Homo-oligomer: A and B are copies of this chain.
Amino acid sequence: MTVTGSKGRRERLRAETTAEIKKVALALMASGGPDAITLRAIAREMGMTANAIYGYFATRDDLVTTLIKDVYTALADAVDAAWEAAPATDPAIRITAWATAFRTWAVVNAQGFRLIYGDPVPGYHAPEGGPAPDAARRVCTGLTALAAAAWPHTQHLYEHSAFGWSDFDPALLDKVRPAFPDLPPAAVALALRIWGHLHGLVSLEVYGHMHTQTTSPEKLFEEELAQLVQMLGVPRRS
């Protein structure tokens, strides 16, 4: 045991270098997009050679995968925090807060959004099960919380839903069902559909496709939220 930590000096330096690599990579991404994440550029920035990075990440794709996981986790943290900060007694406000946090994060961290949801980087292929299934499922669980909050008011619309538990990934259900024991499959389907709605508007905006059509994507998103709350039938201003 030392004052600087329990592990030896070597491991501490190693952890610091690893952190710096990621930090520099994210900075490059922020300024030049995911494409700008190159080993040589990172090394240049750090005053090293590109091959030195191989001591910390087995391959460039490994680094990118780690970055995706980190960035995705940051997104999940942001929306979770917004959800928790809103009053649990008012589903409409909570849902609006979650979705607004989602879009705000995406607009502020546009390159991070592209890293997570687009083709991250030339030639990158995600490892089995996606790069950040945990973070993705955290987001989905958050969405299910959203659907769960609205479910008492909206379930009457889905009495003829064709969904069963077998339609969903077991790993997702492992997280979702214990958290919301009374929720039927139709509610999870609703959560995924809401995800689609929000993701679509935001990704069109982030990738610049909305900008060609409308000058106020934010207003569009706000109307979307108003409609969402209305469609879900949750009471407003409770």
Contacts and interface: CB of A to CB of B under 8 A. Distances in A.
A119 B214 contact: no
A44 interface: no
A81 interface: no
B201 A140 contact: no
Interface stretch (A4-12, A52-60, A145-153, A202-210): A202-210
Where chain A touches its partner, the secondary structure class is helix
Given A34-B119, A119-B118, A161-B223, A167 B209 contact: no
Contact of A212 (B121, B133, B157, B231): B133
Interface string A198-232: 11110110011110111110011001100100110
A132 to B, nearest CB: 10
Most B C-beta atoms less than 10 A away, residue of A126, A197, A215: A197
B119 A223 contact: no
A106 to B, nearest CB: 12
**Copies of the chain in the assembly:** 2
A163 B215 CA distance: 11
A35 B120 CA distance: 11
A130 interface: yes
Contacts of A140: 213
A235 interface: no
A203 B212 contact: no
Contact of A220 (B114, B136, B171, B192): B192
Interface in A69-95: none
A33 interface: yes
Nearest to A217: B192
B168 A213 contact: yes
16 contacts: A35-B122, A119-B207, A137-B212, A137-B213, A157-B227, A168-B214, A169-B212, A172-B213, A189-B219, A193-B201, A193-B220, A193-B227, A198-B200, A200-B200, A203-B203, A231-B231
Nearest 6 Cβ contacts at the A-B interface: A200-B200, A196-B201, A122-B122, A196-B200, A199-B200, A167-B216
Interface of A: 33-35, 114, 117-119, 121-123, 126, 129-130, 133, 136-137, 140, 157, 161-163, 166-169, 171-172, 189, 192-193, 195-201, 203-204, 207-210, 212-216, 219-220, 223-224, 227, 230-231
